[in-house]
Structure formats: structure tokens, C-alpha cells
Amino acid sequence: MSGLGPATRVQHSVDAVSREVDGQLVILTPTEGTLHELDELAALVWSLCAEPVAVEEITDRIVDEYNVDRAVAQEDLVSFLVRMIDIGALSKR
């Protein structure tokens, strides 16, 4: 169980740093010391997480922007968010 429901709010971790490098959004997680390149969709999710935002709100935006099935979008989103929380880039609020 991920512990991330539709109402769970996520936000950038205070330790994570992001920059655009050659048109690509890159996140540095100091605790890992690793750079993570984000694709277009991941960059959208990252931008939405600048302030605390509910998983459901992010899902709504993905469905609207990419015209995808809501259940698939939410499942993929939760998987991505869990990974980002695990590496210290995002935190639950």
C-alpha cells in the first residue's frame, strides 16, 4: 500500500533542487546525491508540486492535458509520486 490516496497532499522536499539544463528538467536529491531527468509529464507533475497539492488535483490535470483514462493516470501518478518520495524529492503534507 502506497499510503497515497486522492486527498493526500504532496510537495517538493526542502532538500530537493531542480533546474532546467538544455531544455530538460533535472532534480538533484542531496541525500542521494543523484540527478534525475524528468520527461514532459514528470516535469508537469513536479511543477504542480511546488505548493502542497492533492493527488486528485494532479490526476485531474493529467487527464485534462493528456486525455487519458483516469484510473490509469492515477495509478501511474501514484507510482511516480511514491518513487519521488522514496528518493527524497517529494514529501507528503
Helix, strand, coil shares, percent, the chain, to 5: 40, 25, 30
Dist CA 77 CA 74 (whole Å)? 5
Confidence of residue 1 (pLDDT cuts 50, 70, 90): very low
Residue with cell 495509478: 75
Mean pLDDT of 10-28: 93
Hey, where are the domains in the chain?
11-88
Nearest-5° Cα angle at 91, 89 to 93: 155
Residue 79 phi, psi (nearest 5): -60, -45
The reported pTM is 0.91
Could you give the 3-state DSSP secondary structure of residue 20? strand
**Is 11-88 in CATH node 1.10.3470?**
no
